[in-house]
């Protein structure tokens, strides 16, 4: 409970510091990524990492402009039943359906209720192995729809273009409507990628991963499910990142 209270305090302080109730100051920073809370990790609660844990999406401490389509956790060991993910806010689980283990057995995921309210979510998971042992872990993220106010509104278009230029996605954060085809074009002489989070697992949405894009090459993906899609370039993962909010 203390961790949650602390995170609420940090959110409130962020609002005050920004001088505007509708904008987070971190939205205009390029490093760290726009969705990352900039306070030390210990202040938002330390994630508990289970044995064989590798990464998760949403990342711990992230403030999202929309509801994640699913919560995804990656491991370096084969998962087995009854591995389970809970996505709780105020004791209510906003996960939808059963936790699923991907065919490669290294990733488990659970869909999230698209109508989930704003606030702080605690993900508690139990990762189980073929020998029947299980280990628990946890992390936190937040949903604040006001963050969408800083996204470029492209909801009036059926097709949207994003430029990969100067090691950035331009525009970095966009709002689109469901069914929109997004085309990324590399305008740098360096190869870039379009990779769904996390890095380097790229598992948030498995089919949204491009090959290497050389200069002037393009990659397209059509977004059919509403929600927030954090993504990055795997060659420049620490600095080159963006978000697609599908409404």
**Residues engaged in binding Cu ion (CB under 5 A):** 192, 233, 235-236, 240
Q: Report the SS3 class of residue 15.
A: helix
Q: Which residues contact 75 (CB under 8 A, 6 or more apart)?
A: 50, 52, 53, 54, 106, 107, 108, 127
Phi, psi of 31 (to 5 degrees): -150, 120
Helix residue spans in the chain (DSSP H): 2-18
User: Closest CB to Cu ion among 15 and 235?
Assistant: 235
Q: How far is the CB of 191 from Cu ion (least distance, A)?
A: 7
Q: What are phi and psi of 30, to 5 degrees?
A: -100, -20
Output 26 or 233, the one with its CB closest to Cu ion: 233
CA–centroid distance for 158 within its chain: 24
**CB closer to Cu ion, 21 vs 189:** 189
Q: 113 vs 214, which CB is nearer to Cu ion?
A: 214
Q: Which residues pair with 111 in a beta bridge?
A: 70, 96
Beta carbons within 10 angstroms of residue 243's beta carbon:
24
Residue nearest to Cu ion (CB): 233
CB of 165 to Cu ion, least distance (A): 10
CB closer to Cu ion out of 129 and 167: 167
Tell how many helices (H) and how many strands (E) occur in the chain.
Answer: 1, 18
CB of 98 to Cu ion, least distance (A): 36
**Least separation, in Å, of the C-beta of 45 and Cu ion?**
31
Q: How far is the CB of 208 from Cu ion (least distance, A)?
A: 16
CB nearer to Cu ion: pick between 94 and 169: 169
Structure tokens at 111: 């869909």
Q: Considering beta carbons, is residue 83 or 195 the nearer one to Cu ion?
A: 195
Rg of the chain over all Cα atoms, to the nearest angstrom: 18
Output the smallest distance, CB 168 to Cu ion, in A: 9
Q: How far is the CB of 10 from Cu ion (least distance, A)?
A: 30
**Structure tokens belonging to residue 198:** 């996390």
Region at 133 (left for phi over 0; alpha for psi -120 to 50; beta for the rest)? beta
């Amino acid at each position: 409970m203390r961790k949650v209270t602390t995170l609420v305090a940090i959110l409130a302080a962020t609002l005050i510091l920004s001088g505007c109730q509708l904008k987070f100051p971190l939205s205009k920073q390029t490093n760290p990524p726009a969705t990352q809370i900039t306070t030390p990790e210990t202040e938002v609660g330390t994630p508990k990492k289970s044995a064989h844990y590798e990464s998760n999406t949403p990342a711990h401490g992230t403030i999202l402009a929309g509801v994640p389509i699913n919560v995804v956790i990656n491991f370096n060991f084969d998962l087995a039943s009854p591995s389970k993910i809970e996505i709780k806010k105020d004791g209510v689980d906003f996960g939808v359906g059963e936790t699923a283990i991907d065919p490669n057995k290294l990733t488990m995921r659970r869909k999230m209720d698209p109508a989930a309210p704003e606030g702080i979510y605690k993900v508690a998971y139990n990762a189980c192995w073929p020998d029947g042992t299980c280990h628990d872990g946890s992390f936190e993220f937040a949903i604040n729809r006001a963050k969408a106010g800083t996204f470029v509104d492209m909801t009036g278009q059926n097709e949207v273009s994003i430029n990969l230029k100067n090691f950035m996605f331009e525009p970095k954060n966009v709002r689109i409507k469901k069914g929109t085809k997004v085309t990324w074009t590399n305008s740098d002489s360096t190869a870039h990628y379009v990779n769904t989070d996390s890095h380097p697992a790229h598992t948030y949405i498995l089919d949204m991963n491009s090959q290497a894009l050389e200069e002037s090459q393009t990659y397209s993906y059509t977004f059919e499910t509403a929600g927030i899609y954090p993504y990055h370039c795997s060659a420049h993962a620490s600095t080159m990142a963006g978000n697609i909010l599908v409404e």
